[in-house]
Structure 1
Amino acid sequence: MSDTHAIAFVRNEMLPQAEPPVTQRGLVKWLRENMFSTIPNTIMTLLSLYVIYVLLASVVPWLFNGVWSGDSIRDCRAALDGATGGCFAVIRERWPQLLFGSYPSNLLIRPTMAFFLLLLAAAPVLFSELPRRLLWFTALYPFLAYWLIWGGSIWVPLFTIATILLSWLVFRALESRSFFGAIVAALIVFVVVSIVLGGPVVALLDSIATIRLQPVESRSIGGFLLNFILGTTCLSLSLPLGIALALGRKSDLPFIKGLCVIIIEFVRGVPLITLLFVASVMLGFFLPGGVDFDLIIRVIIMITLFASAYIAEAIRGGLAALPKGQYEAADALGLDYWQAMRLIILPQALKISIPSIVNIALGLFKDTTLVSIISMADILGMTRQRIMNTSEWFGVYWELLGFAALLFFIVCYSISQYSQYLERKLATDHR
């Protein structure tokens, strides 16, 4: 026998990698591990698939067989002729009321412009990559939006801007002596100048140069526009107020701490609908004679107080989560209280509080629909009071409520996605 048969064979290259079995890769593996891993999971999966099938069997024909043209529900029923389908003609017919309420149809371009300008004004605040000089437009936007939506003389927002600038100059002049005293002095200047000089100065300027837009009364503002105004305004105001309440609750001054605790606990212990009824009915009894606030302003005040109390508690949790070393580091750098809060403590606390603040913001925006209970014509109030009760569209429910739900989903989902982007950018899970 040859000696070559006694030499073992040695392979010079690796065998090609074989694919795993079909049951251990791809969709089959995912289904085995997540949907059919055990008998109870298999039963629940089959029941869930059956429920989804039943829902789709009802919803899909209702959507795809929907009628989009017609002047009443009778036209929809005639077009369907007994078949299953939605009467979406009501959305096509009444979309101005759903979006803008009773706002004059020839002026709809003004709130539309205000909405798109809001996107431009919010961009430099939401995305730090944009140039900081755009923040000037962000600061001017609230006054521009007020003038576009409500109309009237342009001198009203311009005088308000001048008053704010004067108050800011007073604050800057007194800031070095006492930060808290500077804030109080600036507020006093703003209130006194607005009340004493506001009316006469605006009337004088208007007589010299009349620049006006057609006025629109607040009761004409409704639909989703009202929900959007309340949501964005109250959220913008409640965040700084919530920060102030959170800092006040952790203050060493007994009076300030006690006052903030009373405000936070009282507001958190009262339902929002109660505060809205107070704004609608009772707030006028506490105002001086001849003084009255627009209902929208009163509602904004109450919703802002309600949201700021919850935001204050969320921020207080962020402050409590910071290690004591952060406060000691601020003291070691020789920073005073306000510098330490502005430069070291608050940025970290707000970063930690982002999920809670976003959750409150989502709830706040959806809670704006409660104003329909006090007879304000938001999108739900407009749906129930102005559309469903008419003879043309009596009996149309799901189409209108589904349209309202879609609008709220778009806004709330956008807020949720932005919060996730912000968390990834700031890396809130790492310090």
Structure 2
Amino acid sequence: MTDIAFVRSEIEKAQPAPRSQTGLVAWMRKNLFASVSDTILSVIAILFLLWIVPALYGFLIGRAVPPGGTVEQCRVENVGACWAYIASEIEFFIYGFYPMAEYWRPNIVFAMLALIGLPLLWPSAPFKVVNAILFFVVFPIASVVLLSGGMFGLRYVPTEQWGGLLVTLIISVVGISLSLPMGILLALGRQSKLPIIKTLCICFIELIRAVPLITILFMASIMLPLFMPQGTTVDKLVRALVGVTLFASAYMAEVVRGGMQAIGRGQYEAAAALGLGYWRRMGFIILPQALKHVIPGIVGNFISLLKDTSLVYIVGMKDLLEAVKTKNDAIEWASPTQSVTGYIFAAAVFWVLCFSISRYSRYWERRLNTGHKR
């Protein structure tokens, strides 16, 4: 009886993975149809998309009147979105009642915000200290001079004429820039061992968090002038900035305090064992860890602040949403879809701003997520 054996003389070529384990089919089986409940929900979602997507496409694109169209086209029966109305009133949505001949001034402010602010958000950008000084010191002064005027030969433009996206961005940028450091100080004060400072911070935080923002804006509009010298008037925009910033800082303080409480007691003891003073312990050891833990909460407050700017109409300011509401009542562009188109435009602008903030925060979460890397 002879032994029969086979010895391979060359390596077999690699075969592709089964189609059921890779590609679109595998992804669908894993994410959409992994179980009976997943299959039911996926089918319902697909049917909903098949119902809503064609209708949205027809309204937003298919039957819509493009920029450059006429009001007569927007008044046709069963017409879609009137983008011609948005294109015609876009300047009002951006600048409000700001004089048309002076549009170059807010345009310069927008350009400065992009040129100075974006490098500050870019971690690897050089000259961070110089950039921070430009953004937090030079940029606010230059913006006030350019937008208000009344000096250097610039025409004076009162804040009552500011409006639209300009006001929304001003309140958002100022509120975000000031609420975080104020919230950190309030959180530190609430955990202070000094009874007076601790009591004052607790009273401020709990009082602000106990009332809605609209009440704070009413108080800023009515009560703030009472604390000023007799005969002194407080600008409406300043009242809105004060109200929004104080409101956001109180909520930010609780977010930061939650992050500080998540730090183990050993970190505090180790920092004290190194001989570091209070501010060095907080600035170099505790706060960097605490702020990293609460990035989602901080960003959530920033997004809420951005959306809450629509409430500044209480003090007589016309933000983006109020500008859209004002033009939705314009007779010259009256049409069946005028209001809907205006609100869709405002919603799209807010979505772009909020989504950008959200994506940027995700970037920082991934960049700072070094605790579990090997």
Considering the TM-score relative to the shorter chain, is it more than 0.5?
A: yes
SS of alignment partner, residue 82 of structure 1? coil
Alignment partner of 1:225 is 2:147: no
Query: Aligned-pair distance for 1:286?
Result: 4.3
Distance between the aligned counterparts of 1:33 and 1:305, measured in 2?
47
**Bigger Cα Rg:** 1
Distance between the aligned counterparts of 1:218 and 1:239, measured in 2?
25
Alignment partner of 1:109 is 2:108: no
SS of alignment partner, residue 118 of structure 1? helix
Give the conservation status (yes or no) of the 8 Å contact 1:227–1:365: yes
Count of residue correspondences: 366
Query: Aligned-pair distance for 1:329?
Result: 2.5
SS of alignment partner, residue 7 of structure 1? coil
Q: 1:409 aligns with which of 342, 351, 369?
A: 351
Higher relative contact order (CA 8 A, sep 6+): 2
Q: How does 1:308-387 map to 2 (within 5 A)?
A: 308-384=249-325, 386-387=326-327
> Do the aligned partners of residues 423 and 45 (structure 1) sit closer, same or farther apart at CA in structure 2, a change above 3 Å counting?
closer
Alignment partner of 1:427 is 2:357: no
SS of alignment partner, residue 212 of structure 1? coil
State the one-letter code of the partner of 1:69.
G
Query: Aligned-pair distance for 1:23?
Result: 2.6
Distance between the aligned counterparts of 1:10 and 1:40, measured in 2?
50
Distance between the aligned counterparts of 1:118 and 1:254, measured in 2?
41
Q: Which residue of 2 aligns with 1:390?
A: 330
Q: 1:128 aligns with which of 123, 131, 135?
A: 123
Q: 2:180 aligns with which of 226, 239, 250?
A: 239
Q: How does 1:29-428 map to 2 (within 5 A)?
A: 29-64=26-61, 65-67=63-65, 68-70=67-69, 72=71, 74-77=72-75, 81-130=76-125, 131-132=127-128, 133-138=130-135, 139-153=137-151, 211-384=152-325, 386-394=326-334, 395=336, 396-427=338-369
Deviations 1:356-402 (A, max 9, x none): 11111011101111123444211111122x21112123341221111
Q: Which residue of 2 aligns with 1:164?
A: none
Q: Which aligned segments of 4 or more residues in structure 1 are displaced greater than 4 angstroms?
A: 428-431
Query: Aligned-pair distance for 1:124?
Result: 4.4
Give the conservation status (yes or no) of the 8 Å contact 2:179–2:248: yes
> Do the aligned partners of residues 58 and 103 (structure 1) sit closer, same or farther apart at CA in structure 2, a change above 3 Å counting?
same
> Do the aligned partners of residues 6 and 63 (structure 1) sit closer, same or farther apart at CA in structure 2, a change above 3 Å counting?
same
Give the conservation status (yes or no) of the 8 Å contact 1:238–1:311: yes
Distance between the aligned counterparts of 1:124 and 1:382, measured in 2?
31
Give the conservation status (yes or no) of the 8 Å contact 2:240–2:315: no
> Do the aligned partners of residues 100 and 333 (structure 1) sit closer, same or farther apart at CA in structure 2, a change above 3 Å counting?
same
Note the aligned Cα RMSD (angstroms): 2.0
Deviations 1:138-171 (A, max 9, x none): 2311101111111122xxxxxxxxxxxxxxxxxx
Give the conservation status (yes or no) of the 8 Å contact 2:324–2:346: no
Distance between the aligned counterparts of 2:186 and 2:319, measured in 1?
30
Give the conservation status (yes or no) of the 8 Å contact 1:71–1:93: no
> Do the aligned partners of residues 124 and 92 (structure 1) sit closer, same or farther apart at CA in structure 2, a change above 3 Å counting?
closer
Distance between the aligned counterparts of 2:34 and 2:277, measured in 1?
60
Moved more, 18-27 or 236-245: 18-27
Distance between the aligned counterparts of 1:391 and 1:428, measured in 2?
58
Query: Aligned-pair distance for 1:56?
Result: 1.5
